[in-house]
Amino acid sequence: VPVPRSACRRPPTRAAGRAPPAMSGVRAHGAMGAKDPSAVAGGQPGVLGIRREDKNKWERRAPVAPKHVQELVKQGIKVIVQPSTRRVFTDEEYRSAGAIIQEDLSECVTIAAVKEVPIDLLLPNRTWIFFSHTIKGQPAGMPLLDAALERKVRLVDYECITETGKRGGPRLVAFGGFAGIAGAIDFIRGLGERFLALGYSTPLLHIGSSFMYPNLEEAQRAVRMAGDAIRQHGLPAALCPFIAVFTGTGNVTKGALDIFKLLPFEMVDPADLPKMREPGVGSAQDCRKLYLCITTAEHMVRNKNGAPFNKEQYYREPDQYEPVFQDTILPYSTVIVNCMYWDTRFPKLFTQDDIHRHVMQGHDRLLGVCDITCDADGSVPTRQFTSIEHPFFVYNALTEKTSSCLDDPGVLFHAVDHLPSELPREASEHFGNCLLQFLPAMVAARAPEACGQGDTASWPAAMRGAVIAEGGQLTREYEYIQQLRSAYERSDSEEAAMAKDRGGRTSGPHRVQAPPACVTLDLGGHLFDSMFINKVCDLVESQRGRVQITNIDVGSSVGDTSRASILVMAHTQEALDKIVGMIFSAANEAKVSFRRTGADRDGASIPAEAQRSILLLGSGFVSGPVIEYLLRRPENVVTVASIQRSELENFAQLFGARCQPQFLDVLSEDSEMGALREDLVKRSDVIVSLVPATMHVGMAKLAIKHKTHMVTASYVSEQMQSLDKDARDAGVLIINEVGLDPGIDHLGAMKMIHHATSSPGCRVLKFSSLCGGLPAPEAAGSSPLGYKFSWSPKGVLLASRNSAKWMQDGKLCEVPGSELFASGKPMTLNNALAFDVLPNRDSTAFAELYGMPEVPTFFRGTLRYRGYCERMIAVARLGLLELGPVEQLLPLKEKSPTRRQWFAQLLGCVADDDTMLDAAMSERLGSGSDAEVGKEFIGWLGLLSDEALPQAPAENPIDVTTALLNRAEMLYQPGERDMVAMYHELLVERSDGAIERHTATLIEYAEPHGVTAMAKTVGITAAIAAQLVLDNPAPFGVGVQRPLTKVWYDPMLRILEGEGIRMEERCEIVRGASKL
């Protein structure tokens, strides 16, 4: 007979005075971890402690892994690790890495943990770093904060370590997408059990929860095996088509998608969901795959006024939008995986009432919800949080009851709020990779006795901004917490008073619970140091209203302002209007910006003197990501200048009033156009030039003249380099090569080189950097080249005529353009992607720039899919890339030859003689399988057919070839996506003779119907550089530059990672020259 859960509680009558007899080994009634409150003031500089996690039995993570300890020990840092039999890494692993295993941490000057530290174990006068859950003034975290203040702890919170050192910036130390990965694995496991309860056995039943596998690789293998079974045998027809809808596009979504994509899948656009078949009538093909659908804000809401969706406006004025997800997405979803950020300003995705309504209307399709975000009363109707050991409940929309029995009717819910702890090894290693760079500075000195003393000021900005308290005081950046505490305390008392009058009314099923009258106010200025936020609370309290802080962005220095969104609530609309009027008057008096949501559109609340003006030259496919990124900052205004009027109009409509279109011809010699260029540059804080490289120099001269900084994604030309002295003299920064290649390649390479060669006696043996913009694998098969044009086809062909040179084993290798494709070499990346590698122009110039002129092997290459070279060799050797005019083709200029006639004329043979034509090709291509592949490609181009020659100058072979390649198979079709691949490899000989191989890999895919991977990686990188220059150009210096130094690559790589663009780095020891 099952024992009721209440029987597991400890009997209240049991005496606890006498301890049981001592025994060795595991004790069933033993303590769950010794707690030694003893402490010695101070700690020893240079000693780091790693605390044992004990918040719950599932918390097996650590802030650093043994490999990180080994690196710290190499730097002369003593590491003490508390013993643990529960942690994913054994004590012996840490001991082997050089750590000391002991219970006592009193010698440690800095102690790192993952979760909150019990108050009685918080050693005084130390630097402590962990997730403290105090920065939002959460009542539950205040006793811990009070203890840290009392004990003069220097408290550092991982959540606040950001690129800019300011809250709200891209986080640098986090558990990435592991919540999404673990959540998806667990949810798929639950679906298997749930489907069995519904009467259907599926391969999903054989998948376990994440924590059941020794590592992520094994968990992925289990999911992949289930996918193989689905591919072979299919899912039950009653479940198909199986449609999984994902919300958001961040790291959590990416992690969850990576798991679902281990199953056979097809991406489907949200707009196509209504076209999908009803469950139970899916085709046999439907049963052998899952349909995955990514939804973003534009699919979740619509403008109340019927205007097109505007992302910036939606986030600024969410009350101008109403929810549609519950009617346009929910009815067609088999499962929903909720990964998106949400707060109370925004409409909910769907509610319990929506599920009930669809069930009653016969649309009972929804079988499961995986709520990875775990927001209480959040965007989806998660009634309760679950645990790792009991991860599921079933919600019955008809009875509005939940059940822990998966056999009961209803929708399966999964809502575990500490998912990364299910993948403790990989999560800890990722976390430690992020944290490692900051630890040496943190152990250099003792925590200060008073706030503002000690060595905190010398820490990197990212770390300084994460210090919540020191010397018994809140730091300047976090003094607002005290006001937040007061606001929360008042809010509790105000809610109790209002509960008598509001009658339980809500503002609608897709909003948070609220009284009859409410409004959101956006405030900006010195909200906390001026005590303005307290004054707002006083005003609301005096009118028996209620205030709730829904969003907050606190300035990081005395001169910075803060922003907050507050939900003000009252019993009646009349009372609300009175309160809002009082707050408005107070804001005017305090010089705080005030905006009632729905008013002051398009950033008008930003004072003119605070606005930053960006001049963006060019309106091509890269410009969109640049504008979107820069307009995230409310003070930025972007003027887009181009000769393409239609593109300018599109951007203005898409991005709103802070994106200002301007017709401009960069090269025009017209005096009025010249005056306009001067005026635009003069009024701008920074120029971002995305026009062709030959157009940069003229604008750069204007930038120097008017002392305006400039950003480009292009290579530094000789003409641009010649402006260096003028730029320095004018105090102007012109940063170039901040795209993908060049750009991210420089950033990743220099970081890897500087890190790998930081130890004395190291010698670089080899460096190679490879990059390619390609169609994603599923889109590459329509063309024999495995390539599609995202820019000028002729430009691609012209680039393939460039000669190349590089260093190989100490020798200079040179290849003329005519033989470039013949020099291609095969390579396989990540054991999955088969590429051809082509040398990319003059690599030796970059050896100088990278500070390695003497390195034996230095190579930069271009990636294409395997088979590209053997086909393009034929194109080159048959003369199809010749610029022209070609003498033997001149007679065809005024004629209309067929393709075959033109090709025969180029080869100097008779078109009607197949044998002669084949022999002419063989003479140039040789014999063998490569030659046959080349001939097949010539046939695919149509050069052996009697079709008319396309419109192109017949005397110029490269123009004809361009026209032949400009066909549907070589162009991206709707729904097809591209990808970029980048790979760095560095071989370093250490002083002890061992050889290290360092690699860094970037694979970035576009989303179907979304921004291309190329546009994203180029545009976001250029925009990040521009924003860094806007924020503070001083650290970067002046003159014509490339991003080759730490001052560039450190912040840019961290911000790129926050955008989901990350190079995966690995290092291995090579034990002998034979293995190189």
Three-state SS sequence of 244-269:
EEEECCCHHHHHHHHHHCCCCEEECC
Nearest-10 Cα torsion for 301, 305, 306, 312: -50
Amino acid at 51: R
| Residue 602 annotated in active site | no
Rounded to an integer, what distance in angstroms lies between the CA atom of residue 558 and that of residue 543? 32
Three-state SS sequence of 700-765:
HHHHHHCCCEEEECCCCCHHHHCCHHHHHHHCCEEECCCECCCEHHHHHHHHHHHHHCCCCCCEEE
Tally the C-alpha atoms within 13 A of residue 782's C-alpha that lie toward its C-beta.
17
Q: 659: closest CA among 670, 668, 643, 648?
A: 648
1001 touches 830 (CB < 8 A): yes
Rounded to an integer, what distance in angstroms lies between the CA atom of residue 37 and that of residue 119? 9
SS3 861: strand
Rounded to an integer, what distance in angstroms lies between the CA atom of residue 466 and that of residue 456? 10
SS3 804: strand
Tokens 């002046």 belong to 1038
Sign of CA dihedral 659, 660, 665, 667: negative
738 touches 1044 (CB < 8 A): no
The pLDDT value given to residue 374: 78
Q: Exposed/middle/buried for 243, CB within 10 Å: 0-12, 13-18, 19+?
A: buried
Rounded to an integer, what distance in angstroms lies between the CA atom of residue 503 and that of residue 511? 17
374 touches 180 (CB < 8 A): no
858 touches 843 (CB < 8 A): yes
Three-state SS sequence of 19-83:
CCCCCCCCCCCCCCCCCCCCCCCCCEEEEEEECCCCCCCCCCCCCCCHHHHHHHHHCCCEEEECC
Rounded to an integer, what distance in angstroms lies between the CA atom of residue 423 and that of residue 431? 12
Tally the C-alpha atoms within 13 A of residue 71's C-alpha that lie toward its C-beta.
18
Please provide residue 483's backbone torsions phi and psi, each rounded to the nearest 5 degrees. Answer: -70, -35
Nearest-10 Cα torsion for 613, 619, 620, 621: 60
The pLDDT value given to residue 1040: 96
Rounded to an integer, what distance in angstroms lies between the CA atom of residue 861 and that of residue 840? 5
Rounded to an integer, what distance in angstroms lies between the CA atom of residue 948 and that of residue 968? 18
Stretch (H or E) spanning 109: strand 108-112
Rounded to an integer, what distance in angstroms lies between the CA atom of residue 205 and that of residue 531? 57
Longest dimension (CA), the chain: 110
Rounded to an integer, what distance in angstroms lies between the CA atom of residue 100 and that of residue 73? 11
Tokens of 901: 């006639």
Rounded to an integer, what distance in angstroms lies between the CA atom of residue 837 and that of residue 821? 9
Tokens of 1059: 């955008």
Q: Exposed/middle/buried for 1061, CB within 10 Å: 0-12, 13-18, 19+?
A: buried
Stretch (H or E) spanning 93: helix 91-96
Rounded to an integer, what distance in angstroms lies between the CA atom of residue 778 and that of residue 774? 11
Q: Exposed/middle/buried for 673, CB within 10 Å: 0-12, 13-18, 19+?
A: middle
579 touches 545 (CB < 8 A): yes
Q: What is the chain's percent helix, strand, coil content, to nearest 5?
A: 40, 20, 40
The pLDDT value given to residue 839: 93
Give the count of beta carbons closer than 10 Å to the beta carbon of residue 569. 26
Along the chain (1076 residues), what's the average pLDDT of each consecutive run of 10 residues? 36 38 51 44 89 90 96 96 95 96 95 94 94 80 93 92 74 81 95 94 93 91 94 92 93 92 94 84 83 95 89 82 93 94 81 90 90 80 87 92 92 89 91 92 90 82 90 85 67 51 40 53 74 81 77 56 77 77 77 58 48 90 90 86 87 81 89 89 94 90 95 93 95 95 93 86 92 89 86 79 91 90 88 89 91 92 91 91 89 87 90 88 86 90 90 89 88 86 92 88 81 91 94 92 93 85 85 41
Alpha-helix residue ranges (DSSP H) falling in 512-618:
532-542, 573-590
The pLDDT value given to residue 19: 41
CA distances, 731 to each of 396, 587, 1025, 1037 (Å): 67, 39, 18, 8
Rounded to an integer, what distance in angstroms lies between the CA atom of residue 803 and that of residue 970? 25
The pLDDT value given to residue 292: 96
The pLDDT value given to residue 424: 92
The pLDDT value given to residue 1027: 92
Tokens of 279: 């469950």
The pLDDT value given to residue 489: 62
Tokens of 683: 């009024």
pTM of the full structure:
0.50
The pLDDT value given to residue 364: 85
The pLDDT value given to residue 285: 84
Provide DSSP, 865-924.
Answer: ETTHHHHHHHHHHTTTT--S--GGGGGGTTS--BHHHHHHHHHTS-TT-HHHHHHHHHHH
The pLDDT value given to residue 318: 82
868-877 and 929-941 helices cross at what angle (nearest 10)?
70
Give the count of beta carbons closer than 10 Å to the beta carbon of residue 616. 30
Pairing of strands 562-570, 517-525: antiparallel
SS3 397: coil
Q: 715: closest CA among 1061, 1050, 1041, 1056?
A: 1041
Q: 985: closest CA among 1074, 855, 880?
A: 855
64 touches 33 (CB < 8 A): no
Rounded to an integer, what distance in angstroms lies between the CA atom of residue 685 and that of residue 273? 45
Tokens 């005081």 belong to 473
Sign of CA dihedral 1025, 1031, 1032, 1033: positive
Give the count of beta carbons closer than 10 Å to the beta carbon of residue 528. 24
Out of 741, 836, 959, 978, the active site residue is 741
Nearest-10 Cα torsion for 1025, 1027, 1032, 1034: 20
How open is the CA angle 523-525-527, to the nearest 5 degrees? 80
Rounded to an integer, what distance in angstroms lies between the CA atom of residue 568 and that of residue 975? 44
The pLDDT value given to residue 1009: 65
Please provide residue 317's backbone torsions phi and psi, each rounded to the nearest 5 degrees. Answer: -135, 70
In the sheet that holds 593-596, the strands lie side by side as 546-553, 562-570, 517-525, 593-596
